[in-house]
Structure 1
Amino acid sequence: MDMETVNSMDFGEFVEVFGNVVERCPLVAAAVWSQRPFSDPADLERQFFAFIDALPQSGKEGVLRCHPDLAGRELQRGTLTAESQREQSGAGLTSLGAAERLRLTELNAQYRARFGFPFVLAARLSDRAAVPRELARRLLCPPELELRTALEEVKKIGHLRLADLLGADPAKL
């Protein structure tokens, strides 16, 4: 999709297309729409990330709370967004054994109890063996650092999703 098409979208169409760039946060896309016209895909991405960066801490935590646990209940129930389903599947999280699933469930619960939001990781850039290791490592981080790290993961996910929507090479976006 070219930028002329993106810039010509009405509000509803823009939110429908870009509403899940940030997991279950169509409000972000709604706010970004008002920044049109976008000069190029990188400008569009900058607007998404600038909105996130400008949020107060409670808003940033809210963005994180919109994400599902990796290999969690939503995956088991089949209620993930299509994007999350593809991402978790690509990382091998849909084919975990019972022991692996139990380990992730325990780590996810510890993480959520410690930080107040779910563990967020760009699953497309990871694999099933790396996820529990990274989760265990990040459980040891100070809360302020972990908030920043989790938001950087949201941006990695958003970057990849924007590249998909625009039919662009993520390395060139």
Structure 2
Amino acid sequence: MDIQVVNAMNYEEFVNVFGNVVEACPMITAAVWTDRPFTRMCALEKSIGDFIDNLPRSGKEGILRCIPDLAGRDLLRGTLSLESQGEQSRAGLTSLTPGQRSQLSELNASYKNRFNFPFVICARMNDRDTIIQQISSRIRNSPEHEIKLSIEEVKKICHLRLLDIFNQVPKAIKL
């Protein structure tokens, strides 16, 4: 997709195309539509990132609550978004052993109980072992630190989803 095409989209087209770059949060892309015209994909990405960064803590927590549990009930029910389904599959979360599934389910529940939002990690940049290690480690973080880390993970997911839409191959991903 070409940036001129993006800039020519009406509101509905824009939200339809970009509405899930932040999982289940089309209101974010709806809000940044007014920032057009964008000079490049990175300008659109910056606009989304700035919108998220300027939200109060409650807004950031709201975004995080929209993220599905990794290898959770939505995956098992087949109700994940196509993007999340592909991301979790590439990370090996669709082929967990019963022991790994149980472990991840327990970790997800403990994490959610502690922070009141699901564990968020860019699954496409990790594998199942790293994900399990990260959730085990990050559960000890302070809520403030975990919100910050989780929002950065949301932005990584957004970046990769934008690349998919723009049909670009990531040359280097800045972490």
Please state which band the TM-score falls in when normalised by the shorter chain.
Answer: over 0.9
The answer to whether 1:66 aligns with 2:66 is yes
User: CA–CA distance in 1 between the matches of 2:92 and 2:119?
Assistant: 17
In structure 2, what residue type is equivalent to 1:121? I
1:46 matched residue in structure 2: 46
Residue 129 of structure 1: SS of its match in structure 2?
helix
| Superposed counterparts of 1:1-173, under 5 Å | 1-171=1-171
Identity score, percent: 55
Distance in 2 of aligned mates of 1:126 and 1:79: 22
Deviation of the 1:170 alpha carbon: 2.7
SS at match of 1:89: helix
Q: Counterparts of 1:135 and 1:110 in 2: how far apart (Å)?
A: 10
Q: Deviations over 1:21-59 (max 9, x none)?
A: 000000001001110000111101000100100111100
Give me the whole-angstrom Cα distance separating, in 2, the residues matched to 1:47 and 1:108. 31
Long gaps (5+) in structure 1: none
Distance 2:141 2:90 in 1: 27
CA distance in 1, matches of 2:172, 2:149: 23
SS in 1 for 2:128: coil
Within 2, Cα distance between the matches of 1:18 and 1:117?
A: 23
Looking at structure 2, the residues matched to 172 and 38 of structure 1 have their Cα atoms a distance apart, in angstroms, of 22
Contact 1:68–1:80, Cα closer than 8 Å, also in 2: yes
Q: Which runs of 4+ in 1 moved over 3 A?
A: none
> Taking structure 1 as the reference length, what is the TM-score of the superposition?
0.98
Deviation at 1:172, TM superposition (A): 6.5
TM (norm. structure 2) is 0.97
Distance 1:33 1:172, change over 3 A: farther
AA partner of residue 156 (structure 1): K
Tell whether the 8 Å contact from 1:159 to 1:170 is kept in structure 2 after alignment.
no
Name the SS of the counterpart of 1:167 in structure 2. Answer: coil
Aligned residues: 173
